[in-house]
């Protein structure tokens, strides 16, 4: 209970620090939010009037407390680029990123974890060397390079994959967006051809992110498993005649589950906020692309709002990891 209370008490402090950092970013960057709204050629009196209306003439600490009040009420300002409330834009773009990152992390876990365990149980063999080389390649190649190679090979050369975008032109506007997650919406609508098209468009960007992520997950799983397989209790289990599968999955893997949860949670958070280049290359209308376009258009309300959401995702996944610790390891409880 004391640990839970400590974790709960740290959340408001973390959120306060996150709000402070995003506020300072908005004041430090060399972009004038007033000029972004009224334009560079606006008369000086219009610029000053807009500055007064936005409260930018007031001291920083007063601006910060007003900023906190806006965040608490769910008001992230209005986007200059779309003229919509930033919360509305984020609600529209974030499901696409969530869909992409979720599929990528599922594939990465299903492939990366067994691959890391397999390599650890065969340390020093050609299998281990091959897995390590695979992980090195996946972790060394930049995501944008993998994305461009994927498009060049499967779309432009072999012509077996769809082009950039989230769905084909034929299906655009035909599906009622209930959740914003296109594969789920097509299933809810009962449109199987649209579902196949959405899944086919999702395959390339999700595959690129999954390859990059599973290389890291496999490498960390291998490292955790190697440390456990050298433990005394594993030696004792082998002396008792237990099978390799029971030793590896029934004993060693259970002990690496706790540190592995942290790796998976942070990898998933990284996918939710780090898919900027992938979304740009594949024209995926997600939060990463929204953040990039907003930054290029000096739309600071949108940039700060998206940054704040990314920070909240990290905080939420950290809390989830802490809860999973207590479920997986009785010693933590």
pLDDT in tens, 281-318: 898 988 888 888 887 777 778 888 888 888 888 888 88
Same structural domain, 187 and 281: yes
Sequence-separated (6 or more) residues with CB below 8 Å from residue 104: 206, 207, 209, 210, 213, 271
In angstroms and rounded to an integer, the radius of gyration of the C-alpha atoms of the chain is 24
Task: Judge whether 15 lies within some domain.
Answer: yes
pLDDT band at 274 (very low <50, low <70, confident <90, very high): low
Same structural domain, 60 and 175: no
Task: Identify the CATH number of the domain in which residue 205 sits.
Answer: 1.10.3720.10
The domain tally of the chain equals: 2
Sequence-separated (6 or more) residues with CB below 8 Å from residue 284: 96, 97, 100, 164, 165, 166, 205, 275, 278
Residue 58 structure tokens = 């007031």
Of all residues in the chain, the percent with pLDDT exceeding 90 is 22
Same structural domain, 10 and 121: no
What is the reported pTM?
0.85
* Residues β-bridged to residue 78: 85
Residue 125 Ramachandran class (φ > 0 left, ψ -120 to 50 alpha, else beta): beta
pLDDT greater than 60 at residue 3: no
Same structural domain, 96 and 158: yes
- Name the residue range of residue 29's domain: 2-72
What rounded mean pLDDT belongs to the chain? 84
Task: Judge whether 79 lies within some domain.
Answer: no
Report the pLDDT averaged over residues 182-202: 90
3-state secondary structure of 85: strand
**Distance of alpha carbon 209 from the chain centroid:** 10
Same structural domain, 43 and 176: no
Same structural domain, 168 and 286: yes
Sequence-separated (6 or more) residues with CB below 8 Å from residue 236: none
Q: In Å, what is the CA distance from 197 to each residue of 87, 101, 105, 260?
A: 29, 18, 21, 34
Same structural domain, 39 and 126: no
Same structural domain, 152 and 102: yes
Task: Judge whether 278 lies within some domain.
Answer: yes
Residue 92 structure tokens = 């529209």
């Amino acid at each position: 209970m004391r640990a839970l209370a400590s974790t709960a008490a740290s959340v408001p402090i973390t959120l306060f620090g996150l709000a402070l950092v995003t506020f300072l970013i908005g004041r430090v960057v060399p972009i004038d939010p007033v000029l972004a709204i009224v334009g560079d050629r606006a008369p000086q009196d219009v610029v000053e009037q807009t500055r007064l209306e936005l409260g930018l003439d007031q001291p920083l600490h007063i601006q910060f407390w007003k900023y906190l009040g806006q965040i608490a009420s769910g008001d992230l300002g209005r986007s200059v680029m779309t003229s919509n409330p930033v919360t509305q834009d984020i609600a529209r773009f974030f499901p696409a990123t969530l869909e992409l990152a979720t599929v990528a992390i599922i594939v990465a876990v299903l492939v990366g974890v067994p691959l890391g365990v397999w390599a650890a149980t065969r340390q020093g063999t050609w299998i281990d060397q091959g897995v390590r080389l695979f992980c090195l390649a996946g972790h060394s190649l930049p995501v944008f390079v993998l994305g461009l190679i994927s498009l060049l090979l499967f779309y432009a050369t072999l012509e077996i994959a769809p082009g950039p975008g989230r769905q084909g032109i034929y299906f655009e506007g035909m599906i009622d967006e209930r959740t914003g997650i296109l594969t789920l919406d097509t299933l809810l609508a009962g449109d199987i051809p649209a579902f196949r098209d959405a899944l086919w468009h999702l395959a390339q960007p999700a595959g690129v992110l999954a390859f990059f992520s599973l290389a890291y997950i496999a490498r960390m799983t291998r490292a955790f498993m190697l440390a456990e397989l050298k433990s005394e209790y594993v030696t004792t289990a082998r002396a008792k005649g237990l099978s390799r599968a029971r030793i590896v999955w029934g004993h060693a893997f259970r002990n690496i589950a706790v540190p592995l949860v942290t790796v998976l949670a942070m990898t998933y958070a990284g996918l939710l906020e780090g898919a900027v280049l992938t979304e740009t290359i594949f024209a995926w209308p997600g939060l990463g692309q929204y953040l990039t376009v907003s930054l290029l258009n000096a739309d600071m309300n949108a940039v700060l709002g998206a940054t704040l959401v990314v920070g909240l995702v990290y905080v939420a996944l950290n809390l989830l990891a802490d809860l999973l610790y207590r479920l997986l390891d009785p010693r933590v409880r």
